[in-house]
């Protein structure tokens, strides 16, 4: 193993052990850093001998290769974190990424669904449970439960599919889940989601499927339902509901949860806690919902707005 690889492995181990980074986060860092090391090898550069000009040349190469601004920004962030670690450990005397700024990513608005579209999706999922038998009934009840819980809680898909059965102990109206970085948070279940969960639990208990520790068991390597399978099932459900399946995914339902709460008066801090965002800046992507609500509030209730509307919009 090369010295560079040992440094990268040590950095990733630190992220996992000391910072509690999730497996997906570790894997993303590894991909970016492996590609960075490949660039250094191609130019006969040692990881610990990189200079600021070398970082500039690498970023230019990424741009010429056609990487998107978000991918380049992510790669630079991975290299920056690695060099901060190497500096702290005494392997380098200066950080070569210092002073480099990533490309502006441009924050796109999250894709979401209207309340009517979500209602249609939930209604179709419920109807499927009434006309299915055998294994198809099990799958229909499971999917109905999953969709209800996604929209009721705003959980990440990875959090939902890996829920242990032990999460059901305690208050039936609230789940305690473990999110990114091992942080725990409470998520409430509305009556509709709880009813769908109870129907699903009654079925799997009657069929003797309770020996596993997972709430949504499967024959996958992980032992629980995979995000790929849930994504496929959700696409088919969207098609059955007459919705554009390309617009529907577990993450879109998470966005719908947040957007619909804010649209109905929830504050940003509360939504941050429910989503499990460590930083409020992550939740601020939904501020467009607040802005639209404020515009509507002014247009509906401000006396001048009403007067202008009644006079055909003439200026005062």
pTM higher than the cut 0.75: no
CA-nearest of 135, 149, 131 to 207 is 135
Contact yes or no for 265/237 (Cβ under 8 A): no
pLDDT of residue 34: 93
pLDDT, one tens digit per residue, over 188-231 is 999 999 999 999 999 988 765 556 789 999 988 889 999 999 99
Catalytic annotation, residues: 156, 180, 251, 254, 277, 286
CA-nearest of 226, 295, 224, 288 to 255 is 288
pLDDT-flagged residues of the chain (< 70): 1, 102, 104-110, 207-211, 288-316
pLDDT of residue 244: 94
pLDDT of residue 149: 97
- DSSP class of residue 217 equals B
For 254-268, b/e burial (b = at least 16 CB within 10 A) is: bbbbbbbbbeeebeb
Contact yes or no for 97/58 (Cβ under 8 A): no
pLDDT, one tens digit per residue, over 227-243 is 999 999 999 999 999 99
pLDDT, one tens digit per residue, over 153-183 is 999 999 999 999 999 988 888 999 888 777 8
CA distance 25 to 12: 10
CA distance 252 to 262: 15
pLDDT of residue 112: 84
Contact yes or no for 72/62 (Cβ under 8 A): yes
CA-nearest of 238, 241, 234 to 139 is 234
pLDDT of residue 314: 42
CA distance 276 to 35: 31
Domains and CATH numbers, the chain: 3-88 (1.10.150.130), 115-293 (1.10.443.10)
């Amino acid at each position: 193993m090369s010295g560079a690889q040992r440094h990268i492995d040590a950095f990733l181990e630190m992220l996992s052990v000391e910072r509690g980074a999730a497996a997906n986060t570790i894997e993303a860092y590894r991909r970016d850093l492996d590609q960075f090391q490949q660039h250094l090898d191609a130019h006969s550069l040692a990881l610990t001998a990189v200079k600021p000009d070398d970082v500039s040349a690498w970023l230019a190469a990424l741009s010429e290769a056609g990487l998107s601004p978000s991918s380049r920004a992510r790669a630079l962030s991975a290299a920056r974190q690695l060099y901060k670690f190497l500096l702290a450990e005494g392997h380098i005397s200066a950080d070569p990424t210092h002073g480099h700024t990533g490309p502006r990513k441009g924050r796109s608005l999250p894709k979401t669904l209207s309340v009517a579209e979500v209602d249609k999706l939930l209604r179709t999922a419920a109807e499927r449970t009434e006309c299915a038998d055998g294994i198809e009934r099990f799958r229909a009840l499971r999917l109905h439960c999953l969709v209800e819980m996604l929209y009721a809680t705003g959980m990440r898909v990875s959090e939902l599919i890996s829920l242990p059965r032990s999460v059901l102990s305690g208050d039936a109206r609230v789940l305690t889940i473990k999110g990114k970085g091992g942080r725990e948070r409470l998520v409430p279940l509305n009556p509709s989601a709880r009813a769908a969960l109870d129907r699903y639990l009654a079925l799997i208990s009657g069929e003797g499927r309770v020996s596993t520790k997972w709430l949504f068991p499967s024959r996958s390597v992980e032992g629980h339902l995979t995000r790929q399978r849930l994504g496929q099932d959700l696409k088919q459900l969207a098609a059955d509901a007459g919705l554009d399946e390309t617009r529907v995914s577990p993450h879109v339902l998470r966005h719908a949860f947040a957007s619909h709460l804010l649209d109905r008066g929830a504050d940003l801090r509360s939504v941050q806690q429910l989503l499990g965002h460590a930083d409020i800046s992550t939740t601020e992507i939904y501020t467009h919902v607040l802005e639209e609500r404020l515009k509507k509030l002014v247009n509906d209730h401000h006396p001048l707005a009403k007067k202008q509307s009644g006079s055909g919009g003439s200026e005062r």
